[in-house]
Amino acid sequence: AQTVTQSQPEMSVQEAETVTLSCTYDTSESDYYLFWYKQPPSRQMILVIRQEAYKQQNATENRFSVNFQKAAKSFSLKISDSQLGDAAMYFCAWTSGTYKYIFGTGTRLKVLA
């Protein structure tokens, strides 16, 4: 069965600094997708960034980038120039098709002014 593990329950970062959130996963499938979602106190899950497993190039979206290591089954999220609005729960998710996402337990990110 597929699993997603986020080993950091909580992380803190100073405003304008860089922080990296970790995610590892386990799957026997070769083609899949990985996502990072942000869930602020408003509860709405917002897609931050996505990565297709067949693409070797790491995805980047403005201040957000990933380090995707397929062989190691690792998918970390780097947030550069952290802003107060980045404070939220961050979930790593895996999917291989049109059906379910498998989510990690989340990392609470605190941004310190």
Partner 1 sequence: DAGVTQSPTHLIKTRGQQVTLRCSPKSGHDTVSWYQQALGQGPQFIFQYYEEEERQRGNFPDRFSGHQFPNYSSELNVNALLLGDSALYLCASSLQLEALNNEQFFGPGTRLTVL
**Residues of this chain that bind partner 1 (CB under 8 A):** 4, 6, 33, 35, 37, 42-47, 50, 91, 93, 95, 97-106
Among residues 2 and 80, whose Cβ is nearest to partner 1? 2
Q: In angstroms, give the least distance from the CB of 6 to partner 1.
A: 8
Q: Which two tokens stand for residue 35?
A: 């996502």
Among residues 64 and 80, whose Cβ is nearest to partner 1? 64
Among residues 16 and 47, whose Cβ is nearest to partner 1? 47
Query: How far from chain centre, in Å, is Cα 2?
Result: 16
Q: In angstroms, give the least distance from the CB of 88 to partner 1.
A: 13
Q: In angstroms, give the least distance from the CB of 111 to partner 1.
A: 20
Q: In angstroms, give the least distance from the CB of 53 to partner 1.
A: 11
Expressed in angstroms, the distance from the first to the final Cα of the chain is 41
